[in-house]
């Protein structure tokens, strides 16, 4: 065996180094899980707090605003920390919250809002600002803590009907009222043809008339006192047997005080004597502020002179009954407020251009001088009103006017004391270039009406009643020449007269009698157009295009907007308060030729179709052949 030396080799054992990682159970943290957690995951968060695990595996409570502390169990004292209460309020801290005790006049969580009682609907709409932080200042005559006291507003043809038994021997009526109307019916008890009670105002500033307990007291029972001035008055009427007393005094708007009246003062107190001792009170129905059945007034002729009341009433008493606190059997067009802004609606500047302001109680209207129009007469009318082909002005007859006239007729003790029995007159001025157009209509129904229209450039009158039709040609002359013309027709029973420009007169007695254009059964009138679907010679008459001025009925000028005692007025379509442009274009003479040339040239340059469309309106009316030749030359050289 041979032994050979080699490199030395050294053998040794490996050294083992040990390490560990601890996975901790809930509630412990640390490298060896040596630290125990005592946070919200064990005890939970109080008072609505939320427990959340953080990035380092710890837990923390997130508290509601009114709590603090590790577990949200310490109350936050907001009164000290944030002082949230305002306007001198007292802060009261409570567990998890606070409250503010507000002083008078403030509200809100922190008493941050001022209480506006009227604006916050504590007061009714007929109240204004507060007198004190908790009191409503009522508007014109309304009363009560919230301005919702016992009061009624009456409109035309309104009423309240009650059923209350009246004493046979003695009655006492008390009414506080305000109105601007010259005639008004305050109280009506139609017990029969001879025995009845009526309290009414007749002829406004002259007298207040007290009619009657059993025929009329003798002499007429009146007080010479102004009571239609828009101010509040207190009426007290008392009957004891055949002795009657009446007194009227003045009151403040809020109703707190009324002036005293001495029985020796004949301007506010009167006594009179009647015929009957007792009142037949088997009938218990009576009305305040008007009548339910207007025909009953016509059948009891002469008992009253009026039929409704426009204004406000409060504190209405009959014997021992406060009427506005009991249920009525029926009522119409009344409200439980006084719908008026103050004692007068007509100030010095209410109407313009010298117009007359007329107080209508809830509103006003202006009676314009000639040459002015508009709600306040603020528009100057130059050369009449212009009408487009689809325009008209409608005059709707008021029911209150109709009743006024019927009552006057009944009082006259004549069978026919209505406007239809007298001469009815309609006038108007017009100018146009069109040969067709409706000038005037009066309508009582679909088969009862009157027409005044242009056909083939001539004025025609037409009447229709119960299927019967009559037509009259007013004049052979042409009126579609751009000049002013006046047409006037009258109806008197069966006689009809029509004239144009005061010269040509057509008159005829029609049988049966023609439709009465201004009778009380007429629903409405129109000028410049028609709401009727009628044909003339198998074609529909179009609306009037041109100018209308000076519309009169029975000699009274009628406005083309607003209202009158008789009509409410409504305009539709293209109605303009000026006819200057038409007048300038349609006038004769050299100046019109130059103006016509200028206007036509402008239209030709802009649109030939536009000129063609309007040539009939803008043509120089009444021009000579020479002027027309100048127009053709101007067109050729432009």
- Of 17-31, 114-128, 218-232, 562-576, the poorest mean pLDDT is in 114-128
- Binned at pLDDT 50, 70 and 90, residue 221 comes out as low
What would the two tokens of residue 294 be? Answer: 């207007």
CB atoms within 10 A of CB 510: 17
- For residue range 153-164, list pLDDT tens digits in order: 999 999 999 998
- Binned at pLDDT 50, 70 and 90, residue 389 comes out as confident
More confident residue, 299 or 278: 299
Q: HEC states along 87-106?
A: CCCEEEEECCEEEEECCCCE
| pLDDT at position 593 | 32
| pLDDT at position 38 | 58
- Binned at pLDDT 50, 70 and 90, residue 570 comes out as very high
User: What global pTM score does this model have?
Assistant: 0.69
DSSP reduced 3-state for 385? strand
| Cα dihedral across residues 397, 400, 405, 409: positive or negative | positive
**Domains of the chain by start residue, with CATH:** 39-75 (2.10.25.10), 151-335 (2.60.120.200), 345-380 (2.10.25.10), 383-580 (2.60.120.200), 587-637 (no CATH)
| Average pLDDT over every residue of 47-76 | 82
| Average pLDDT over every residue of 552-580 | 90
| pLDDT at position 86 | 93
27: which DSSP letter?
A: T
Contact 73, 47 (CB under 8 A): yes
- Binned at pLDDT 50, 70 and 90, residue 615 comes out as very low
| pLDDT at position 92 | 93
More confident residue, 42 or 93: 93
Q: Bridge-partner residues for 150, per DSSP?
A: none
More confident residue, 106 or 519: 519
- Of 62-76, 330-344, 615-629, the poorest mean pLDDT is in 615-629
Alpha helices, H only, 454-540: none
Contact 140, 340 (CB under 8 A): yes
- Of 189-198, 404-413, 417-426, the poorest mean pLDDT is in 417-426
| pLDDT at position 545 | 95
Query: Average pLDDT, whole number, for the chain?
Result: 80
More confident residue, 198 or 210: 198
The CA-based dihedral angle spanning residues 521, 524, 525, 530, taken in that order and rounded to the nearest 10 degrees = -120
- Of 192-201, 223-232, 322-331, 407-416, the poorest mean pLDDT is in 407-416
Of 33-42, 158-167, 416-425, highest mean pLDDT: 158-167
CB atoms within 10 A of CB 628: 14
- Binned at pLDDT 50, 70 and 90, residue 416 comes out as very low
Query: Is 60 exceeded by the pLDDT of residue 388?
Result: yes
| pLDDT at position 626 | 40
What would the two tokens of residue 266 be? Answer: 């004949």
CB atoms within 10 A of CB 607: 12
- Binned at pLDDT 50, 70 and 90, residue 465 comes out as very high
- Binned at pLDDT 50, 70 and 90, residue 452 comes out as very high
| pLDDT at position 218 | 47
SS3 content of the chain, % helix, strand, coil (to 5): 15, 35, 50
626, with CB counted inside 10 A (0-12, 13-18, 19+), is: exposed
- Binned at pLDDT 50, 70 and 90, residue 123 comes out as low
What would the two tokens of residue 423 be? Answer: 């001469």
Of 128-132, 559-563, 624-628, highest mean pLDDT: 559-563
| pLDDT at position 169 | 80
| Average pLDDT over every residue of 77-95 | 90
End-to-end CA distance of the chain: 146
| pLDDT at position 512 | 92
Residue carrying the six token digits 């490996």: 14
| Average pLDDT over every residue of 375-404 | 92
More confident residue, 183 or 24: 183
Q: How far apart are CA 574 and CA 457, in angstroms?
A: 22
| pLDDT at position 591 | 35
Percent of the chain whose predicted confidence (pLDDT) is above 70: 75
Query: Is 60 exceeded by the pLDDT of residue 209?
Result: no
| Average pLDDT over every residue of 14-24 | 74
Query: Is 90 exceeded by the pLDDT of residue 32?
Result: no
| Average pLDDT over every residue of 412-416 | 52
| pLDDT at position 621 | 36
| pLDDT at position 401 | 95
Contact 177, 232 (CB under 8 A): yes
| Average pLDDT over every residue of 316-334 | 94
Cis peptide before 597 (omega within 30 of 0): no
| Average pLDDT over every residue of 313-341 | 92
More confident residue, 384 or 39: 384
Beta strand segments in 520-564, E: 524-527, 535-536, 539-540, 546-553, 556-557
- Of 382-386, 512-516, 570-574, the poorest mean pLDDT is in 382-386
């Amino acid at each position: 065996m041979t032994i050979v030396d080699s490199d030395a080799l050294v053998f040794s054992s490996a050294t083992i180094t040990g390490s560990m990682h601890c996975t901790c159970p809930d509630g412990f943290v640390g490298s060896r899980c040596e630290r125990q957690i005592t946070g919200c995951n064990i005890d939970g968060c109080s008072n609505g707090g939320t427990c959340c695990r953080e990035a380092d595996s710890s837990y923390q409570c997130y508290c509601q605003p009114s709590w603090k502390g590790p577990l949200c169990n310490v109350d936050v004292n907001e009164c000290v920390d944030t002082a949230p209460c305002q306007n001198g309020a007292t802060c009261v801290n409570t567990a998890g919250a606070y409250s503010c005790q507000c002083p008078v006049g403030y509200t809100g969580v922190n008493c941050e809002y001022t209480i506006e009682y009227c604006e916050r609907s504590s007061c009714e709409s007929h109240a204004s600002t507060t007198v004190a932080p908790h009191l409503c200042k009522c508007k014109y005559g309304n009363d009560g803590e919230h301005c919702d006291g016992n009061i009624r507003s009456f409109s035309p043809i309104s009423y309240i009907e009650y059923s209350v038994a009246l004493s046979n021997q003695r009655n006492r009526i008390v009414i506080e009222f305000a109105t601007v109307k010259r005639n008004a019916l305050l109280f009506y008890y139609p017990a029969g043809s001879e025995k009845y009670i009526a309290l009414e105002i007749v002829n406004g500033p002259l007298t207040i008339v007290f009619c009657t307990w059993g025929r009329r007291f003798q002499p007429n029972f009146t007080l010479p006192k102004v009571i239609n001035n828009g101010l509040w008055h207190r009426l007290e009427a008392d009957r004891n047997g055949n002795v009657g007393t009446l007194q009227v005094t003045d009151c403040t708007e809020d109703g707190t005080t009324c002036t005293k009246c001495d029985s020796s003062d004949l301007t506010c107190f009167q006594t009179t004597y009647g015929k009957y001792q007792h009142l037949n009170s088997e009938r218990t129905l009576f009305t305040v502020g008007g009548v339910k059945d207007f025909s009953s007034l016509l059948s009891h002729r002469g008992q009253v002179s009026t039929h409704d009341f426009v204004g406000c009433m409060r504190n209405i008493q009959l014997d021992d009954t406060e009427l506005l606190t009991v249920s009525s059997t029926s009522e119409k067009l009344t409200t439980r407020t006084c719908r008026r802004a103050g004692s007068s609606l007509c100030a010095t500047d209410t109407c313009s251009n010298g117009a007359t302001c007329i107080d209508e109680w809830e509103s006003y209207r202006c009676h314009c001088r000639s040459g002015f129009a508009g709600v306040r007469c603020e528009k100057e009318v130059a050369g009449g009103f212009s009408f487009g082909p689809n325009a008209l002005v409608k005059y709707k007859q008021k029911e209150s006017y109709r009743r006024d006239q019927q009552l006057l007729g009944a009082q006259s003790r004549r069978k026919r004391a209505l406007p239809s029995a007298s001469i009815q007159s309609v006038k108007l001025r017009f100018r146009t270039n069109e040969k067709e157009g409706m000038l005037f209509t009066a309508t009582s129904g679909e088969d009862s009406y009157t027409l005044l229209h242009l056909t083939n450039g001539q004025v025609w009158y037409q009447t229709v009643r119960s299927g019967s039709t009559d037509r009259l040609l007013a004049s052979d002359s042409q009126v579609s020449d751009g000049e002013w013309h006046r047409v006037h027709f009258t109806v008197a029973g069966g006689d009809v007269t029509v004239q144009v420009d005061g010269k040509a007169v057509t008159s005829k007695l029609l049988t049966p009698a023609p439709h009465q254009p201004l009778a009380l059964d007429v629903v409405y009138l129109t000028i410049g157009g028609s709401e009727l679907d009628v044909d003339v010679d198998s074609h529909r008459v179009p609306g009037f295009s041109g100018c209308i001025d000076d519309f009169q009925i029975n000699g009274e000028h009628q406005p083309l907007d607003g209202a009158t005692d008789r009509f409410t007025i409504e305009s539709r379509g293209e109605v303009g308060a000026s006819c200057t442009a038409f007048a300038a274009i349609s006038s004769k003479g050299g100046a019109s030729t130059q103006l016509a040339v200028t206007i036509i040239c402008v239209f030709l340059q802009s649109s030939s179709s536009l000129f063609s469309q309007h040539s009939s309106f803008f043509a120089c009316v009444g021009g000579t052949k020479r002027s027309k030749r100048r127009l053709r030359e101007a067109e050729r050289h432009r």
